[in-house]
Amino acid sequence: MAYAAVFSALADPTRRHIFEALREQPQTVGELAKGQPVSRPAVSQHLKVLEAAKLVSVEPQGNRRLYLIKRDGLEDLRQYLESFWSDALSAYGTEIARRMKGK
């Protein structure tokens, strides 16, 4: 059920922006905040959520904290997606639909 955290983490636009910014390169909290229309504490809180969803990780460097993308969360999501992706599933669904319509 790890994908649940990923869904709600990436459901927020600001959080997606932060996540996508980290895609370019690892960044500190301050750097990330400059690229977003919200305050630095807000970014901190968002990063906490992203971290819990295993979408980012931190590397403390003295004073600063460098955040970088982590793929674990995406992998959880991909696995969930995959389970919906069999042709058999789709075929079964439409078949039932056809029968219920009485055709």
Partner DNA sequence: CATCTTAGTAAGCTATAACTTACGGTAAGT
Partner DNA sequence: ACTTACCGTAAGTTATAGCTTACTAAGATG
How far apart are alpha carbons 89 and 42 in whole angstroms?
A: 41
Q: In angstroms, what is the minimal distance from the CB of 44 to DNA?
A: 3
How far apart are alpha carbons 62 and 8 in whole angstroms?
A: 31
Site string for a copy of itself, 52-71 (x = CB under 8 A): -------x-x----x-xx-x
Find the radius of gyration of the CA atoms of the chain: 19
**Amino acid letter at 30?**
G
Q: Tell me which residues touch a copy of itself (CB under 8 A).
A: 4, 7-8, 10-11, 13, 16, 22-23, 25-26, 59, 61, 66, 68-69, 71, 74, 77-78, 81, 84-85, 89-90, 92-94, 96-97, 100-101
